[in-house]
Amino acid sequence: MIALSLSTLSLAAYFAAAYAQWNWNGRPAWLVPIGILLHFGALALSLIHEGNLRIGVTEAASLFAWQSALLLWLFSFREPIAINGVAVYPLAGLFAIWATLVPSPVSTVQVSEWQVSVHVLMSLLSAGLLTLAAVQSVALAVQDRLLHRHRVAPAGGRMPALQTMERVLFQLIAVGFGLLSLTLLSGLWFVHDWMAQHLAHKTILSITAWLIFGTLLWGRWRHGWRGRTAIRWALAGYVTLILAYFGSKLILEQIFGKHWV
């Protein structure tokens, strides 16, 4: 009941923050950290049980959303991307409720193992940053389409210049790509037999996502890729990454009855 109360309050705070961002240009900003803290409290009650992790599909979605909300709030102090909270914050609240109402079975992954902790941390950080990059790509696509149609969006005065949006997008992708690289390397500690551990599809899709993001960064550096080309590559990489993680979890948990971080 406590977790449900916390997640419900976080949902209310997130929606209020999104409403404030849309109508009052981010004021009052204190609603965002309140939602993040309440969400964290609900997650803490849901994730850890007697030293074991419970990160099923619903908990993972809530954790990804929480981290995306946190990173967006922090990045907003430096970069003009606060408008993305209109989409990110309500989704984080909805995922918080989902994880509380639909819990997953407890896994046997020990959080006391430092290798597991490092791998999980880097995985979550890379996913959070690349989630923000995907949101930024969608916002950039909307802005680009409106500019090409010579139309002014209702949020036109709230969104930064197109060049600024692109710069922030590639910053997020670059950092997320670096963390994804470290995540794949740290995963070598755990993968001993791809087929026996049912991780072949996850590994292949994760490497494919890594290659897509790497190609995008190379294209930006070598050929100056931007606009719709950058948006397509960024979204393709993110969709592949999400399929690698959540597709693998669905197969492992629903078909094989196994659990993996």
**Phi then psi for 128, rounded to 5 degrees?**
-65, -45
Average pLDDT over residues 77-84: 83
What's the pTM? 0.81
What does the domain layout of the chain look like in residue ranges? 1-112, 114-261
Burial of 21 (0-12, 13-18, 19+ CB in 10 A): buried
Question: Which band of pLDDT confidence, cut at 50, 70 and 90, is reported for residue 61?
Answer: confident
Residue 196 pLDDT = 44
Q: What is the per-residue pLDDT for 64? A: 85
27 phi and psi angles, rounded to 5 deg: -100, 135
Average pLDDT, the chain: 81
Half-sphere exposure of 238 toward its Cβ, with a 13 Å CA cutoff? 23
Pick from 14-28, 74-88, 189-203: least confident: 189-203
Element (H, E) at 48: strand 48-49
Question: What's the burial of 93, exposed, middle or buried (CB within 10 Å: 0-12/13-18/19+)?
Answer: buried
Q: What is the pLDDT of residue 258?
A: 53
Q: Report pLDDT for 251.
A: 57
